[in-house]
Amino acid sequence: MADQIPLYPVRGAAAVASRKRAAYYSAAGPGAERPGRFQLEDESAHLDEMPLMMSEEGFENDESDYHTLPRARILQRKRGLEWFVCGGWKFLCTSCCDWLINICQRKRELKARTVWLGYPEKCEEKHPRNSIKNQKYNVFTFIPGVLYEQFKFFLNLYFLIVSCSQFVPALKIGYLYTYWAPLGFVLAVTIVREAVDEFRRFQRDKEVNSQLYSKLTVRGKVQVKSSDIQVGDLIIVEKNQRIPSDMVFLRTSEKAGSCFIRTDQLDGETDWKLKVAVSCTQRLPALGEDSDPPVHESLSIENTLWASTIVASGTVIGVVIYTGKETRSVMNTSNPKNKVGLLDLELNQLTKALFLALVALSLVMVTLQGFVGPWYRNLFRFLLLFSYIIPISLRVNLDMGKAAYGWMIMRDENIPGTVVRTSTIPEELGRLVYLLTDKTGTLTQNEMIFKRLHLGTVSYGTDTMDEIQSHVMNSYSQMYSQASGNNANSTPPRKAQSSAPKVRKSVSSRVHEAVKAIALCHNVTPVYEARAGVTGETEYAEVDQDFSDENRTYQASSPDEVALVQWTESVGLTLVNRDLTSMQLRTPGGQILTYCILQMFPFTSESKRMGVIVRDEATAEITFYMKGADVAMSTIVQYNDWLEEECGNMAREGLRTLVVAKRALTEEQYQDFESRYSQAKLSVHDRMLKVAAVVESLEREMELLCLTGVEDQLQADVRPTLEMLRNAGIKIWMLTGDKLETATCIAKSSHLVSRTQDIHTFRPVTSRGEAHLELNAFRRKHDCALVISGDSLEVCLRYYEHELAELACQCPAVVCCRCSPTQKARIVKLLQQRTGKRTCAIGDGGNDVSMIQAADCGIGIEGKEGKQASLAADFSITQFKHIGRLLMVHGRSSYKRSAALGQFVMHRGLIISTMQAVFSSVFYFASVPLYQGFLMVGYATIYTMFPVFSLVLDQDVKPEMAMLYPELYKDLTKGRSLSFKTFLVWVLISIYQDVAFITTVTFLWKVSAITVVSCLPLYVLKYLKRKLSPPSYSKLTS
């Protein structure tokens, strides 16, 4: 147990391998001439001279002007003092703060580490604690942090200064409570709300960190908390228990030497993933025994267990290699930010304008006073007297309104289960321009259904599956009738058959071979649930004798494969058992066919195919089966004239296609392949390239068996919801970790990309030159959707970030596949920086948390995939279709109401300030208050509370109309309900009403004049405006 086993970080190995793969595939294969074509790395000067956004003629004739580049135009915009005044100071301050934060929070580089099994105290390096922390503050930073978040806004900072000025006797105007009571109430509400949220986060973290695990030590098993686990600990994880940290999988109770894990909390996928124990430790009779001689075994991604996943079968033992902040799941998430709504920022700008008006009015008063006496003191007193122009009650009323909006959203019966987790940004739902969505579990249910089987001359759909079943039954019945007739000598006929000339096979035999290939070429494992009273030791020992269909479920890393195996079961050929070395099929007649698994070639994103070599135990025939994407298989299979056309037809129907092929091998051919394959796997340098080359030697002239079509079930009402969002002017981007073909199929089937729209698939690029040429090719396309992979996106963002953002934002839809969680968050930030528009991210898995937290508005879907995304989101919904009503109805109402409410509260303060100005002018510009303090506090709260409540309940368009005509949403994104224009209209109304009130003589005339003079012209103007310039929704409500 005390053996010193050096373990190298999986991340580093994976990065090196991916670079080697990229180099290999860019230098070999179909693009063998690619290095020569794209060899522009050494010609950087030539690239600088050749602009990316050149005209068509310039590109063709290679005539260009470098200054036509958008990047060059940006650099020439502003220089010197003009740049500093127009926002350069803010950029410099932000850069300095970011630099200081990076210095204070500098991340350590992950290096190769030596792990002592069972002896964590021998580790020389210090590693982070294995504790989960989602809190924003600690005990010392809570009060300063909350106060900073409040007083960074001009409105609150202004009132803090005004309130503090009342401690100076010469500046004191009224009672202290007049200023400190509203400010203290606002701060108290904010601090209590943040404290409650922080305490809830603390309780959730404590619950996870306090989970107990069994740890193996020299004294036996001991219980240890999750937060006390260290690098080098040997941890036992039971079935249905969360894996506490990143570990290497050493041993399992399963006799097959493998186990399944559930990753639904990590990536939103409900399929179980197969993990394999390290063979040398799995073979040990007891874990505490030393191996003699020492064994050296290379580790792969299959030998790792990631933190926050769940063990689904058996009991596992692993050694901890990464803890806390260094685990894979934590490194793929970003720190949450405090989100501020666009309406709050706009109101903050208006308060700055009001402050300038306040200073100007005070200067006018002091000037008319003649600057007599201590004029600067009078100036400050006037500033305090007119301070009600900026009302402190604005924050209180807005917070009350936002709480009411959140209550209405959660009480809406049309979107049950919706939860508002961030009550400060409901108005953001009405200002969105970009919606970035995940695919698996968000747009789709991640449930596959087999829809089509094509054999070249005949095609079978869902309504003709009974024909396939009869063909399979006939084939096996004929096979066993021949076998019973030739019992005594079965080997000679088989040899004669293999040497016979090729003849055209019957449809029945072709269907049988296709179904058998689909039933064998996969990585699916049947799992049998434990019976009551059966212990864990015998549960799996009896599996191969218990083939009851009711007790069996299929598990695999891909839902496509589960759908294929379930389909073969429905037509009569059932997978009943599988381990690492063999699998068993049951025929329609009940016979068991056993196949020995000689080699497995798993699916990779580079090869786009997977294969298996099996030996039939009954006939000793060796067959190489392979299935994969049509782009990868078209060059491998024998010549045919139907594959490309049928693949296109199925893709247009939104089906995910797989090409299935086989090749019969002799014993000599397989032995030769095995020796070369074993040598390639033992290579120290370029192992993956050599292994791929050996496998490719088998992938020649394979017999094409069939083409399958599988449909990924979409969530309910996804298509009409996406159509509604598009009509509302919202641009939709799909960011997924799935492969390119899958993402394209879902984009078509969900109508994210319309049937008439072209799709530009961005070719894989690895260098600046390739990215340059590919972007120029994409620029020529007009009104087409973009499909780009994560690796190509990374290269383009490194060299041509501005150009890519400019081109992508012009597309009606964008699909990014093979995206990591950090890439998703980076795309969100890129859109925010380059467009300045409001973004919304929606997802359901733990890999969507970074994207949700980075967006201006994050929406999480809570379902069978787990709650990690919904807990991190600002709004939590149960189905994707609910987003339509959430934006069209509640987003519209929240924004319209808050805009009117904010301007009304300012209007209310302007009335008092105008009356104070008239009063001071009449009485020789004396800096004396017109009303007492308690009257002012009552006026700002109780006396005018009913108009505030009426605005919170205001409704300009009925919810049915907003849903029926989503085009109304486009006006909201322009921000016309709250702007300097509407604000000036409210200011003029305030001044007009004040003058009409102050100049009246008697009480009777006050009442009549206020009623007639103040209200009648406004209603006349409002009536004329409606007649001359009716609003966009007036035709809908008539």
Q: Radius of gyration of the chain from Cα atoms?
A: 35
Residue 265 pLDDT grade (very low, low, confident, very high; cuts 50, 70, 90): low
- Mean of pLDDT over the chain: 79
Q: Give the per-residue pLDDT at 103.
A: 58
What is the spatial distance between Cα 581 and Cα 560, in angstroms, rounded to a whole number?
22
Residues 642 and 683: beta-carbon distance below 8 Å: no
What is the spatial distance between Cα 46 and Cα 39, in angstroms, rounded to a whole number?
12
Give the lowest-confidence range in 211-220, 255-264, 614-623, 928-937.
928-937
Q: Give the per-residue pLDDT at 917.
A: 84
**pLDDT per position as a tens digit, 507-550:** 888 999 999 999 999 988 888 866 544 444 433 344 444 556 77
Considering the candidates 264, 271, 344, 438, report the single residue annotated as catalytic: 438
Q: Give the per-residue pLDDT at 270.
A: 63
> Look-up: residue for tokens 């093979």?
818
Return the biggest CA–CA distance within the chain.
Answer: 128
Mean pLDDT over residues 801-811, rounded?
90
Taking the CA atoms of residue 485, residue 491, residue 494 and residue 496 in that order, the dihedral angle to the nearest 10 degrees is -110
Q: Give the per-residue pLDDT at 40.
A: 38
**Residue 414 confidence (pLDDT) above 90:** yes
Instruction: Name the strand (E) or helix (H) holding 97.
Output: helix 89-104
Q: Give the per-residue pLDDT at 453.
A: 93
**Residue 452 confidence (pLDDT) above 70:** yes
Query: Model-level pTM?
Result: 0.69
E-only strand ranges, 666-754: 703-714, 731-735
Residue 292 pLDDT grade (very low, low, confident, very high; cuts 50, 70, 90): low
Residues 61 and 67: beta-carbon distance below 8 Å: no
Task: Based on the residue annotation, tell me whether 616 is a catalytic residue of this protein.
Answer: no
Q: Which residue has the higher pLDDT, 564 or 1031?
A: 564
Give percent of the chain with pLDDT exceeding 90. Answer: 23
Mean pLDDT over residues 625-629, rounded?
91
Q: Give the per-residue pLDDT at 913.
A: 84
Q: Give the per-residue pLDDT at 2.
A: 35
Helix, strand, coil shares of the chain as percentages rounded to 5?
Answer: 50, 15, 30
Nearest to 669 by CA among 701, 636, 706: 701
**pLDDT per position as a tens digit, 785-803:** 999 988 899 999 899 988 9
**Residue 43 confidence (pLDDT) above 50:** no
What strands, in cross-sheet order, belong to the sheet with 622-628?
459-460, 444-454, 703-714, 656-665, 622-628, 609-616, 592-601, 582-586, 574-578
Residue 154 pLDDT grade (very low, low, confident, very high; cuts 50, 70, 90): confident
Which structure tokens are listed for 421?
A: 């987790």
Residue 25 pLDDT grade (very low, low, confident, very high; cuts 50, 70, 90): very low
Give percent of the chain with pLDDT exceeding 70. Answer: 79
**pLDDT per position as a tens digit, 636-694:** 888 888 888 888 888 777 788 899 999 999 999 999 999 998 888 877 778 788 888 88
**Residue 441 confidence (pLDDT) above 50:** yes
Residues 1013 and 931: beta-carbon distance below 8 Å: no
Whether the upstream peptide bond of residue 293 has omega within 30° of 0, thus cis, is: yes
**pLDDT per position as a tens digit, 558-575:** 788 889 999 999 998 999
